[in-house]
Homo-oligomer: A and B are copies of this chain.
Amino acid sequence: MLQSKLFPGTLKEDPKDEVSISAKYLIRAGFIDKVMAGVYTILPLGWRVLDKIEDIIREEMDAIGGQQVFMPSLSPQENWRKTADRLNKIDVLFEARGANKESRRRNDATYVLNCTHEDIVTPLAKKMKFSYKDFPLALYQIQTKFRNEARPKSGILRGREFRMKDLYSFHRSPEGLQKFYETSKGAYKNVFDRLGIGEDTHITLASGGDFTKDFSHEFQTECEAGEDLVFKVKSTGVCYNREVTPSQAQEFKGNFSKDQKEMELVEGKGVIGVGELVDFLKIDIERTTKTLVYKTDDEKFVLAAVRGDYEINEEKLSKVIGASRVELADAKEVKKTTGSEIGYIGIVNAPEKVQVVMDDSLKDRVNFESGANKTNYHAVNVNFGRDVEEPKEFFDIKTAKEGDVFPETGEVYEVFKGSEVGNIFPLNTKFSEGFDYCYTDKDGKKNLVYMGSYGIGSTRAMGVIVEKMHDENGIIWPETIAPFKVHLISIGKDEEARKLYDKLRKENVEVLFDDRDISPGEKFAEADLIGCPLRVVVSAKTLEKGKIEVKKRNEKEANFVDEKELLKTIK
C-alpha cells in the first residue's frame, strides 16, 4: 500500500477527549475514529489488524470443532422473557424500533438489539438438534454486539458497540460440558499466545453471575488500563477476580494494648461513615466497624459487619446466608429492624431476632468501635465476650483488597489490574430450562441440554494489545497481527525504493511504502507511531553501501543488509 493513498493518515496531536493510551495511539496513528462516546469507526489500518485478530480466533475455534454461523442483531422481545425476564433485567440492553412516525406506521414492532446470543442460539439449537446423537455441538460467530454502557470512556476497551467472538456449546451431561470447557481454555490460551499477550493473560476465577453457582473464568490481561483487580496466589498461580477473591485480613498491627477498657457510648450526632468516625474518635480505621442492614429476596433482614477498612461483598454475603440475592435496606426498614437511624447501626445491642453476620476481619480486636444501634451514638472500647457475644463462626463477607491473605496458605496475594479479553461460562441448564430445551437419550428419556458460552472481544483485544505493546513513540504490533509486516521508507530515492516495494509485493510481503514528499524525520516518527515490525529504509547512504537499512520496531539499532538477507529477516 502506498502511504500517500492511505486513509486517513496520522494526527499531530493526541485526541483531547480520550484518556486511555490505546485510544490515543490508535486514533493518532489512524487505526480508529471516534463517532461518539463508546462508538468508533475502524479505519483501514485498524481493519487490517482486526481482521488478523479475528482470523486467529476463527482458526482456533474451528480447531475445537466450532462451526461458524452469523446470527442476527435484531431478535424478538419474547425470546428475552423466556429466561428470567432478561428483557427487563439486563441493564445494558438496547432495543430497536422505527425512528420516525412514518417508519413506525409501516411497522410498529420493537426488537431487542442483541448484547449476547444465548437467547437466540438456544431456540435455534432446540429447533434442530434433540437426539443424544446430536451432541456435542459448538456454534460460534464473530460480529457486532451492542451494550448501553452508562459512560464509556476507554476507547475500544469498552464500547457501546464492539466486535466479539461468541461461541455456544451444547452437551448431554455436565461431564460433556466440563470436557469441552477445558478444551476451550486451551483454545483461548492459543489465541492469546498468538496475539502476543499470552504470557500476561491469566485464567481468573470470577462470579458465575446469574448463570451459575460455579465460578466462570475470565482471561485477564495484566494491564494498567484494566477495569478489574486480579488477586493471584503466587504459590499455585491461581487467580481470582476481586469480586470472588477469598479474603483474609492481615492482623491489625496497631492492636498493641490488650487491656480491655470500659465500654462507653459516645454521642456523635451526624458522625456517619468510617472516615468521619476516625477523625471524630481519633482512632485507627481498623478499630472501626462497618455494619449494614440487608434485606433478602424473601424479606428477611440481616446485619452484616466488616472492619471499617473493608467493604461488604453482597455476593459473598448472599452465599453465607443462603439467599439468592441481597439488597441494602432503606432508612425505614433499618429503623424498624434496629430501632436506630442509619449511620449508628452496629453489633452492640443488636436486636435479638435479627441474624448478625460478622466478617473474620472483626476477629482478635480489643477496644474497638461499633455503632450502638441508638440514633446519634457510637460505642467505643467494645470487646467480644464482654460487650458483644463472640460469634460461633466468623465468615468471609468482604471485598478483598491489596495486602489481603489467601486463607488456605496464608500468603499475601499478588495484585494487578486486569483487562478481561475473554470469558467463559458454564451455563449449565440456565437457558435450556428457560427455553425448555431437552434431548431424548438412548432410552427415550428427556433430559435438559447442558450449555456453555465462550466470548472474546476482538476490538477490546486490539485495544489491550496496544495498552501492553507501545513505547513513548507509538505502537509496537506483534508480527502476527501487524497491519503491514514492513514499513518501507524512501529518503529521496523513490525510484529505487519503489523497485524494492514491487519486489517485496511479488514475494507476498505486506508493505506500507511511504512515498510521500515529507521530511525523513516525519517519516520515521510516523513509522514509530504506526508500529509495523520492520522499518526498511532506502536512502543515498544505504545505496552507497549497496545495502538496505532494517530496524525492528522493538529494537534500537538498525542493521544494513542486502536484499537476500532482508527477505530472510522478513520470513
Question: Could you tell me which A residues sit within 8 Å of B by CB distance?
Answer: 5-9, 33, 35-36, 39-44, 46-47, 50, 65, 67-76, 87-103, 106-107, 111-113, 120, 124, 127-129, 137, 139, 143-144, 146, 148-151, 160-161, 163
Contacts and interface: CB of A to CB of B under 8 A. Distances in A.
A532 to B, nearest CB: 17
Contacts of A50: 70
A43 B72 contact: no
Contact of A67 (B44, B76, B93, B149): B44
Contacts of A92: 103, 106
A69 B42 contact: yes
A120 B69 contact: no
Contact of A91 (B76, B106, B149): B106
21 contacts: A6-B67, A9-B128, A33-B124, A35-B72, A39-B75, A41-B70, A42-B69, A42-B71, A43-B69, A44-B67, A44-B68, A90-B100, A91-B102, A93-B100, A95-B98, A96-B96, A97-B148, A99-B148, A106-B148, A107-B149, A107-B160
Given A44-B139, A99-B113, 6 more contacts: A44-B68, A90-B99, A92-B106, A94-B103, A95-B97, A98-B148
A99 to B, nearest CB: 4
A459 to B, nearest CB: 9
B47 A69 contact: yes
A103 B90 contact: yes
For the complex, would chain A's binding face be called helix, strand, loop or mixed by DSSP majority? mixed
B35 A106 contact: no
Contacts of A88: 100-102
A7 B129 contact: yes
Contact of A93 (B46, B103, B113): B103
Nearest to A163: B70
B41 A146 contact: no
A75 B100 CA distance: 15
Contacts of A73: 73, 144, 146, 161
Contacts of A98: 93-95, 148
Nearest to A11: B128
Contacts of A143: 144
Contacts of A129: 7-8
A62 B5 CA distance: 13
Residue of A65, A69, A71, A88 most packed against chain B (CB within 10 A): A69
A61 to B, nearest CB: 12
Contacts of A102: 88-89, 91
Contacts of A93: 98-100, 103
A457 B468 CA distance: 39
A72 B41 contact: yes
Contact of A72 (B40, B74, B106): B40
A68 B41 contact: no
A79 to B, nearest CB: 9
